[in-house]
Amino acid sequence: MDRKWWHGAVAYQIYPKSFQDSNQDGIGDLKGIIRRLDYLKELHVDILWLSPIYVSPFVDEGYDIADYQAIAPVFGTMEDFDELLREAKARGMELIMDLVLNHCSSEHPWFKQALSSPLSEEASFFYFRRGHDGLPPDNLRSYFGGSVWEKIEGDSDLYYLHYFAREQPDLNWYNEKLRERLFEMMNWWLDKGVAGFRVDAIMNIAKDLSFPGLPADGADGLCAASKMTARMAGEVSGFLKEMRDKTLKPHDAFSVGEAFSVREEDLAAFIGEDGCFSTIFDFSSHGLNEGLSRYCDFKPLTVKYFRDATFTAQEKANAVGFLAPIIENHDEPRGVSAILPRQWQNARGAQALGTVTLLLRGIPFIYQGQELGMTNTHFDSVYEIRDLLAREQYSACLKQGLSPYQALTILNCESRENARTPMLWDHSSFAGFSEVTPWLKVHQDQHRLCVEFQEGDPHSTLNHYRALTALKHHPDFRDTLTYGDFERMPCPDDDTICFRRVGERQEIGVIASFSHDTHVFPIGEAKILLTSGEVSFKEGELMVKPGSSAVFIIER
Ligand code: ISL
Ligand code: CA
């Protein structure tokens, strides 16, 4: 396999609105990120993914792009961006942009032009179709609720397609001119010096152009668009190959796909030696539920479910390419809250879970605040929540007959807002994120979780993450931790995660326990590299107390 700089990398996702405010308007910005680059350097991060920073009406927090080549004024200017890029590179870190290609904003000039002249080239960049008998062209349900079709004002039966919000019209990938425009834009960013992209919601670009709809999966008579996406999955790699050849490959760029529902037979086309992406996120344990009332129907995860799904995904990827392990992102509740049993939703649990995700095979993505062990944010009222999906699912819960209290309880477990609250830097009024009230509330455990508090504690989650990322880069172990195969080890119970990374001359074992019981592992001549919680090693026996983790090496 061709070796690439990103194979051994650690990536970090910045949610710019919530990372660091520099001009005291309560919203994070690019200058704020620049101020915190040294912090990221100390965490031994190699790749920074910025959630969208483009001009946008922010209906979906920037995932509705109105200008792909301009910075949203709320985040700063293109000069600020160039400075950020320079400063990151000066510290040995690369930036990747969030690339939203399935749709743009209804405020994008292409869409405005399309609306004003139906015969324009721009109109062919979108999907406009006539409905029948007063009904839209098909019965798919948007990811954010309601039909995927929106009626054009003034025209009695003409609709446009939007898999997400109505302000996010889908782009027509079957139009070559549109593809060329998107590729040009990608090359413009790559020429500027960004290292690559995180490619948003990409599986959705394949459409059945006859718009047949699907059997209803809810009382609204609609069917989740994700089901059509899964059905069309085989068509995506054709588009992606063209994209790779015209943009990523000539720049030797890094790319990570947000690709749910990749078929097993397509894995090599996505992440193989000559695949379309460098990696794709491992969503195997994130139990997507896109039904009518997806929050309401949600079943909590267990350590066993997370472990088994992750292990299976790792085994499938071993011989093919690299996955990108994650436990959370800006669309998910915090991993510590979602995956761990209640007694380990604390620093001990966060550290043991960190040991697992950073040492799995692949390119781990840390989501801002994960390294602090941040848990879900507690919202006291639905009015504190802004996310359109959370709001919509709240209404769906009420419609199902839940009380407002029950619906809020569900949001506090499930909503995307859980992980979008401001980064916790210090003990000051707004956690050092801003000097004024932030756009979204500050997490309830600021003082226990903030960087300032954790820096001084050698046993803090932050310092454990620093040790993990240092280990991943250590010249003696780097090769095994990058290229070593993943292999499961026997797990003593459902709440324990044990695996090893098998390199040419060494084997690195990883054990994390979220159990009620202490476990003893005979590991013979091994050497301990790192532990968290309460672990002891004596006469070839490793004793791991609940809420602990250990990493050991066996040289051959
Ligand atoms: O949010 C989800 C689960 O909580 C997903 O269904 C999500 O919509 C899907 O993963 C696609 O996500 C991406 O595209 C969306 C945007 O809202 C998300 O923030 C983004 O990550 C539309 O651009
Ligand atoms: Ca600001």
Q: What DSSP letter does each residue of 476-510 carry, written as one string?
A: TTHHHHHHSEEEE---SSTTEEEEEEE-SSEEEEE
Residue of the nearest CA to atom 14 in ligand 1?
Answer: 201
Q: What is the pLDDT of residue 97?
A: 98
Which of the following is catalytic: 61, 98, 138, 200? 200
CA dihedral 311, 325, 252, 110 (to 10 degrees): 120
C-alpha–C-alpha distance, residues 332 and 470, integer Å: 27
What angle is formed at CA 120 by the lines to CA 156 and CA 57, rounded to 5 degrees? 75
Per-residue model confidence as pLDDT tens digits over 191-233: 999 999 999 999 999 999 999 999 999 999 999 999 999 999 9
Q: For 72, what's the count of Cα atoms within 13 Å in the CB-facing half-sphere?
A: 23
> How far does the centroid of ligand 1 lie from the alpha carbon of residue 26, in Å?
24
> How far does the centroid of ligand 2 lie from the alpha carbon of residue 20, in Å?
8
Res. 289: pLDDT tops 80? no
> How far does the centroid of ligand 1 lie from the alpha carbon of residue 126, in Å?
20
Q: What is the pLDDT of residue 290?
A: 64
Return the best residue to mutate from 14, 15, 63, 290 for the ligand 1 pocket (most ligand atoms within 8 A of CB). Answer: 63
What angle is formed at CA 454 by the lines to CA 438 and CA 304, rounded to 5 degrees? 90
Q: Would you tell me how many other CB atoms lie within 10 Å of the CB of residue 537?
A: 17
CB 505 within 8 A of CB 485: no
What is the position in ligand 1's atom list of the atom closest to the CA of 100? 23
Question: Could you tell me the pLDDT band of residue 287, with boundaries at 50, 70 and 90?
Answer: low
Q: Which of 14-28, 59-73, 152-166, 431-445 has the lowest mean pLDDT?
A: 152-166
Beta pairing class for 54-55 and 67-71? antiparallel
Question: Could you tell me the pLDDT band of residue 291, with boundaries at 50, 70 and 90?
Answer: low
**Ligand nearest to the CA of residue 72, numbered in listed order:** 2
Res. 531: pLDDT tops 80? yes
What is the position in ligand 1's atom list of the atom closest to the CA of 204? 11
Res. 37: pLDDT tops 90? yes
Residue of 25 and 293 predicted with greater confidence: 25
Q: What is the CA radius of gyration of the chain?
A: 23
Res. 298: pLDDT tops 90? no
Beta pairing class for 94-100 and 47-50? parallel
Q: What is the mean pLDDT of residues 338-355?
A: 98
> How far does the centroid of ligand 1 lie from the alpha carbon of residue 144, in Å?
9
The pocket around ligand 1, CB under 6 angstroms, is made up of 60, 63, 100, 143, 164, 200-201, 258, 330-331, 389, 416
* Mean pLDDT of all residues belonging to the chain: 97
Question: Could you tell me the pLDDT band of residue 161, with boundaries at 50, 70 and 90?
Answer: very high
Q: What is the pLDDT of residue 286?
A: 80
Residue of the nearest CA to atom 1 in ligand 1?
Answer: 331
Which of the following is catalytic: 258, 328, 387, 507? 258
What is the position in ligand 1's atom list of the atom closest to the CA of 414? 4
Instruction: Give a three-class secondary structure readout of 326-393.
Output: CCCCCCCCCHHHHHCCHHHCCHHHHHHHHHHHHHCCCCCEEECCHHHCCCCCCCCCHHHCCCHHHHHH
Is residue 200 annotated as a catalytic residue, yes or no? yes
Res. 544: pLDDT tops 80? yes
Q: What is the mean pLDDT of residues 384-388?
A: 97
Res. 155: pLDDT tops 80? no
Q: Is 458 exposed, middle or buried (0-12, 13-18, 19+ CB in 10 A)?
A: exposed
Q: Which two tokens stand for residue 315?
A: 């085994």
Is residue 258 annotated as a catalytic residue, yes or no? yes
Q: What letter does residue 442 receive in the DSSP assignment?
A: P
Residue of 138 and 153 predicted with greater confidence: 138
Residue of 261 and 193 predicted with greater confidence: 193
> How far does the centroid of ligand 1 lie from the alpha carbon of residue 471, in Å?
32
**Paired strand residues for 128:** 160
Q: What is the pLDDT of residue 292?
A: 77
Residue of 372 and 297 predicted with greater confidence: 372
Residue of the nearest CA to atom 7 in ligand 1?
Answer: 331
Closest CA to 514 of 358, 336, 286, 376: 336
What is the position in ligand 1's atom list of the atom closest to the CA of 260? 10
> How far does the centroid of ligand 1 lie from the alpha carbon of residue 20, in Å?
23
Res. 293: pLDDT tops 80? no
Closest CA to 151 of 168, 137, 172, 171: 137
